[in-house]
Structure 1
Amino acid sequence: MCHQGEIYQEVPHFCFLVSCGAEQFLLTADVDFTQEDFSDFSQTSLDGVFVNPLFFHSKEGQQVIRETINPKEVFVYHIPFDADDVLSMRKMVKRDCDKWDSCPVTPLWEPMQRECRAVDRG
């Protein structure tokens, strides 16, 4: 898939669909969500999608998440560390999470942050 950012267009880039038992997660890395077609994922039941802050922030990215990918949960990762956040991306992610009105969203703020979920296997 295309890497986000004009200067990275020639850089090989991959998204990964990871299955953990019955659960499936899409890791989008730094995909150019404005150029790629995610419709193949619309038929896949995704327990979660991992997106970077720019994917989660943009109207186009949010539309892809809501209308095409339609996951049970969104995880925002690749958030700059507090000391490295010269563009105030952490504040942007916080605002975006507060406004998000779809499925649950979990920002991954800290190094080695752990999130545990109970899975109902019926």
Structure 2
Amino acid sequence: MPLRQITFSANAGVSLRLGDVRLWVDAVHEEPVSGFSVLSPALQDTVMNHPDFQQPNLIFCTHCHPDHFSRRLLGQAMERWPLAEMILPERQFERQILLSQPRESLVLRELSIRFFRLPHEGKEYAAVSHYGCLLNHDGFRILIAGDCAVATPVLQEVLQETGPVDLALLNFPWITLSKGRRFIEQFIRPRHLAVYHLPFERDDIYAYRRPTLRAVEQVSTEDVRLFLNPLQQERFS
């Protein structure tokens, strides 16, 4: 059985190992954002030298907000691993793939990726260029929704085209809000659910963690896991 493993950095940052392919999603960021966690200088060094974050084949950012993206750290990654593909919804580097269409796709070895434009949560972010993606690794399907507006009909349309997924990576409001839980049950229907975008305990000034822990019991998905600590690692089959 191929290895499918996710290692957490901070906020909504992960490194996914899918067989022989390693993919970063929103993995590195450094600008402080009130109420959320970013990579401190010490954690930057730890993450960038951790085995699970070495030699990415593909680096993708759902959008370029500072709690998901650091131009400096991604520039360092590109210098260190020049063969990695960089995929962004804004032009930031000369050598990158720019997402600009409502639907785009990419095949990388045994991994196929469908990118789709999604509305960012909050009317004030309506103009933000923001994308989710659906990964298909040997029939194992992974949804990454980024900061997508909870229960948006746009994602519903995508899922009606693609069907249910094996694993969904979603921000914590998807399970703390009843409309999010209903949407998960009706449209996403994942076998596994990974929840993140929670601050580390020391940064939890708005007390997001406790209600999220309680909300897990209200989610119909049997396997629900919370990413709470840096370099937390989870495997899925």
Q: TM-score, normalised by structure 2?
A: 0.47
Query: Are 2:148 and 1:31 equivalent residues in the alignment?
Result: yes
Which residue is 2:196 aligned to?
A: 77
Higher strand share: 2
- Deviation (angstroms), 1:72: 0.7
CA–CA separation in structure 2 for the residues paired with 1:77 and 1:29: 10
Higher helix share: 1
What amino acid is aligned across from residue 142 of structure 2 in structure 1?
F
Unaligned regions of 5+ residues in structure 1, if any?
A: none
- Residues 47-104 of structure 1 show CA distances to partners (whole Å, capped at 9, x for unaligned) of 1111101122111111110001111111101111111111111101100113334331
**Identity rate of aligned residues, in percent?**
23
Structure 1 residues 93 and 113 mapped into 2: Cα distance closer, same or farther (>3 Å)? same
1:9 to 126, 131, 137: 126
Unaligned regions of 5+ residues in structure 2, if any?
A: 1-117
Which residue is 2:135 aligned to?
A: 18
CA–CA separation in structure 2 for the residues paired with 1:60 and 1:100: 11
What amino acid is aligned across from residue 146 of structure 2 in structure 1?
A
Greater displacement, 36-45 / 18-27: 36-45
Greater displacement, 48-57 / 30-39: 30-39
Which residue is 1:94 aligned to?
A: 213
- Residues 17-63 of structure 1 show CA distances to partners (whole Å, capped at 9, x for unaligned) of 01222211000111012433314314524111111011221111111
